[in-house]
Structure 1
């Protein structure tokens, strides 16, 4: 197996502890649970995200929810059912929701200002879709100097058309996570791999 750029650059191979991180749940919206945009393995990923969220809440770790919008009547209509955050991982109390319109959660949002106010440098990321908004946000975080950890079991994606035919969701999931772990993030297999 070849070396990752992370290893060659001397970057950490292990995740920071949850206690020293901020949990960011990306686009855990109803649109991904049914119909055109239903993701492969979405319910299992939501179950894992719920466990992660419960751990963060129990530990008093800051939680930020990200919600994508493309406006009224779209698949991501945050005023409608499709764009709503899944009840299983919905915000509670004063947990903030950052609404975005781009795959990278830092673009034209106040996410970075919120993280600076919290003094956060370590981020634990989960949500949807692995190849799109999770990938873009992890890369954006890395480029801004944050240390992201992506919890693989709490992410999911879907099959996509490719130049040589359909790319199965499992292949896209694996490739997206491998690309992130080459440099941009520590990728852990599941919630249990994130230390308290």
Structure 2
């Protein structure tokens, strides 16, 4: 029996990872909720260090950077008026960097993200942030519908433990691994770490 192949391999429509010098960096939901809120992620510090590395390199190269921020409910998760809704300092936008605010996991839904990316003019996006199985997954999948080529930096993303339907738990590490595999099948070129891109 032959080894399974990805949809990219079967269709011949795969593409190599982007290089930071010819792509737009998209950072999704790097917010305090994931550090100190009810959605605190076990792999946050390691992923945030990777995001900070990408961000520093993009700024040094003068590359376009898009920060996506989730707007939650006042008093709730991602409280836009409280600390938990704020950007993590390590990945906070600087003046002149693009900020897109969203209310759904998919950063294209109900926002001007597509228009902002079109104005930049790059089809190649380098994506990182939180959470792998939610906002990262939905945004990367939607990006394909708009004709973008996504490169996902696995180590610059993280997620949390999730309950399973049979009453068990799938660990954050396993959930992240499975979601990255799913995205690599047909939606994104995946690299393990930020240093692969510069």
Which TM bucket (shorter chain)? over 0.9
Alignment check: 8 A CA contact 1:130 1:176 kept: yes
- State which of 187, 191, 195 in structure 2 corresponds to 1:192: 195
Structure 2 counterparts to residues 106-125 of structure 1, below 5 A: 106-125=108-127
Alignment check: 8 A CA contact 2:25 2:66 kept: yes
Does residue 101 of structure 2 align to residue 93 of structure 1?
no
Q: Which runs of 4+ in 1 moved over 6 A?
A: none
Does residue 180 of structure 2 align to residue 177 of structure 1?
yes
Deviation (angstroms), 1:13: 4.2
Aligned residue number for residue 57 of structure 2: 55
What CA distance in whole angstroms lies between the structure 2 residues aligned with 1:70 and 1:79? Answer: 9
What CA distance in whole angstroms lies between the structure 2 residues aligned with 1:138 and 1:93? Answer: 26
Q: Which moved more, 1:32-41 or 1:54-63?
A: 32-41
TM-score scaled by structure 2? 0.95
Alignment check: 8 A CA contact 1:49 1:127 kept: yes
Aligned residue number for residue 157 of structure 1: 159
Deviation (angstroms), 1:143: 1.3
Aligned residue number for residue 24 of structure 2: 22
What CA distance in whole angstroms lies between the structure 2 residues aligned with 1:186 and 1:78? Answer: 33
Deviation (angstroms), 1:103: 0.6
- Structure 1 residue runs of 5 or longer lacking an equivalent are none
Q: Which moved more, 1:181-190 or 1:32-41?
A: 32-41
RMSD value over aligned CA atoms?
A: 1.0
Alignment check: 8 A CA contact 1:7 1:13 kept: no
What CA distance in whole angstroms lies between the structure 1 residues aligned with 2:113 and 2:122? Answer: 11
Number of positions where the alignment pairs a residue of Structure 1 with one of Structure 2: 195
Alignment check: 8 A CA contact 1:21 1:121 kept: yes
What CA distance in whole angstroms lies between the structure 2 residues aligned with 1:68 and 1:140? Answer: 17
Aligned residue number for residue 67 of structure 2: 65
Q: Which moved more, 1:68-77 or 1:153-162?
A: 68-77
What CA distance in whole angstroms lies between the structure 2 residues aligned with 1:10 and 1:143? Answer: 17
Deviation (angstroms), 1:34: 2.1
What CA distance in whole angstroms lies between the structure 2 residues aligned with 1:117 and 1:44? Answer: 32
Deviation (angstroms), 1:78: 2.3
TM-score scaled by structure 1? 0.96
